[in-house]
Structure 1
Amino acid sequence: MFILPKLPYDYAALEPTLSADTLRTHHDKHHKAYVEKTNELAKRAGLDGRSLEDVVRDAHRKADQKLFHNAAQAWNHAFFWLCMTPQPAAPSGPLKAAIDRAFGGVRGFKDAFVAEGVDHFGSGWVWLAAGSDGLKVISTHDADDTLIRDGLFPLLVCDLWEHAYYLDYKNDRKTFLERWTDMVANWAFAERQLAAANGAGEGFLYPEVAASETGAARRDAPGHGDRPPA
């Protein structure tokens, strides 16, 4: 059984970048629906009790598109909430050094991230990920994520589906992405993810509850699956 994880901040905490109305709709309706459908479909597929990471990969391997889309969207959204904070701080330490190597600085990263997100056609996600050759910015379509991509470990993601920004920005995705990277991107979380990618600790894992539990999480974010190859 998968739970809908609570937001790590109040609904209004990310204003004015994202409104409380947007977060309520996004979390309480969209994310909730993905989790509920995943629970239904995973049980039907005989995957009840498996981690969400396993469900996503198994559904992709078996070309079970309905289960994959719902499970991956549930995972992506839980990761996305942690990629935002009402108290952002600039990247530092090994992450800042990696950004400098890959993009020539934080400004170069922002330019690449915003451009990738703006140029992405349709719904999806824009990621900052670590790989064997350093950091890179990529985008994925619809529910596609890094769990099914060998050698990529996610550090940050921003939601490109219109429900993530339309109430606040209408069709102006570019302004949304610019403000997101400047005002709410959680670099402290990205730093922990990079450390996990390099073997220090565990990255993001979707929180679960045991079948007999109704509230307490058996494991909590953060965590993630396989590390990129050395």
Structure 2
Amino acid sequence: MTSWNLAFVWLLDPANWAGPGGIPARVGEHLLYTIVTLVIAAVIAVPIGLAIGHTGKGRALAVQLSGVLRALPTLGVLLLLALLLGLGFGPALIVMVVLALPPLLAGAYAGVDAVDRETIDAAKSIGMTGWQVLVKVELPLALPIIIGGVRSACLQVIATWTVAAYLPLGGLGRFIYDGLAVQNYAEMLGASVLVILLALIADGIFAVVQRLVVPRGVVVGRASDVRVRSSKRLATTSQSTTAG
């Protein structure tokens, strides 16, 4: 039998779907880790991104900070924090939050920054305060790109939480490390398939949400285009700042 056949045999084995170490339990742990990470990262990054996009202040700092955070080696930082803080959920959560911050910050900033200035001027001309402009005009129009940032962060976090099982922790990464220890490659490959499926399902859900949050009368391109435009906008801003 090929490795793929063995992996699907492992996936279909009823024994792997029962107990605290079964597939449903590990998927639930993986989802819980991902949700906690995204919530904490969003609480930190989204307000900062909205403030930068609304005021126009701190753009250069946001671009540089995003670049620095993206460049950090995840596994290296994870092992360093584990040595400093000990094994457990805390060090892994810190690393995953740091990983999720750049796309969330970029999405929030780029979303607000992309709002047509004429629309904002029209809102101010009818007497809206700065806070009202942000909440009632900029935020609804920026929401598709903000969700695009959450979508990108979610995919990265789902994939990278498998690495955190090294500490050790639960989640789908547990299958990969346990399988590696006993050279059970069918288990490792089966767990990898589960991670891929989980990422694809999450991506599909966020793609639908991204479409649903588009205000009436506003046309938005494909979700992938939204993420690309956001990245290009940040890169252009970075180049302009450097040139200045």
* Fold match by TM threshold 0.5: no
Q: Which has the higher strand share?
A: 1
Q: Which has the higher contact order (CA 8 A, sep 6+)?
A: 2
TM-score by length of structure 2 reads 0.30
